[in-house]
């Protein structure tokens, strides 16, 4: 890191990655309607190797409350069922020998509140990650100033810019959480 702008670019990239991870986690939270994201990241033991379900099968939603999983290799059907049950998603897979079907039950009020709690926890983890990136960026800017590569004014501007990026990303996290909460609580 030679300049403050390099530090800012690095911090922004890390913060954007945190946002992307949060969106992926939110996509996997059940909202009462079928979504392939619910089972996308499930790890299936494929000939002894943990493999993501989306790499082993075609996942589709032919109906609003149904997910179908059509494996490319039919011999892995049993392993897919076991992996979905082990993932503790709150759904039960059913196999007919060719497809695995997952019916998404209607969410009750208690389950909706649990999902919102999980979303809040994940968004708080993302906020902590953003703050850690801010701390690291601030330390880099201060080190640049100590090493004589930038002036005190440049350091102060750099610290302010890192804080602006942090505030922007925290606001995005809050907006994502608000949207997910509204989506889950909608009946």
pLDDT tens figures, 106-128: 778 887 888 888 889 999 999 99
87 C-beta neighbours (distance < 10 Å), count: 17
Which secondary structure element, helix H or strand E, spans residue 139, and what is its range? helix 109-146
Tens digit of each residue's pLDDT (9 = 90 or more) over 169-179: 999 999 999 99
Structural domains present in the chain: 4-27+108-185 (1.10.132.20), 37-103 (3.30.1360.40)
pLDDT at res. 107: 76
The sign of the CA dihedral 146, 151, 154, 156 is positive
* Eight-class DSSP state of 84: H
Specify which residues 50 forms β-bridges with: 45
Give the pair of three-digit tokens for residue 119: 């979303």
pLDDT at res. 26: 84
User: What residues contact residue 110 under an 8 Å CB cut-off, 6+ apart?
Assistant: none
Specify which residues 59 forms β-bridges with: 69
More confident residue, 152 or 108: 152
């Amino acid at each position: 890191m030679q300049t403050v702008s390099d530090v800012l670019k690095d911090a922004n990239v890390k913060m954007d990655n945190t946002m992307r991870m949060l969106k992926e986690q939110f996509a996997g939270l059940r909202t009462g309607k079928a979504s392939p994201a619910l089972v996308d990241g499930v790890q299936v033991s494929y000939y002894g190797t943990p493999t993501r379900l989306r790499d082993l099968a075609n996942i589709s939603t032919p109906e609003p409350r149904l997910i179908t999983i059509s494996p490319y290799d039919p011999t892995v059907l049993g392993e897919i069922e076991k992996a979905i049950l082990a993932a503790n998603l709150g759904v039960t897979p059913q196999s007919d020998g060719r497809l695995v079907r997952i019916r998404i039950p209607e969410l009750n009020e208690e389950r909706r509140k649990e999902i919102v709690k999980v979303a809040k926890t994940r968004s708080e983890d993302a906020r902590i990650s953003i703050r850690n990136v801010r701390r690291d960026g601030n330390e880099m800017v201060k080190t640049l100033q100590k090493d004589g590569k930038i002036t005190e004014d440049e350091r102060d501007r750099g610290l302010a810019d890192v804080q602006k990026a942090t505030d922007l990303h925290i606001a995005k996290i809050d907006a994502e959480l608000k949207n997910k909460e509204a989506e889950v609580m909608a009946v």
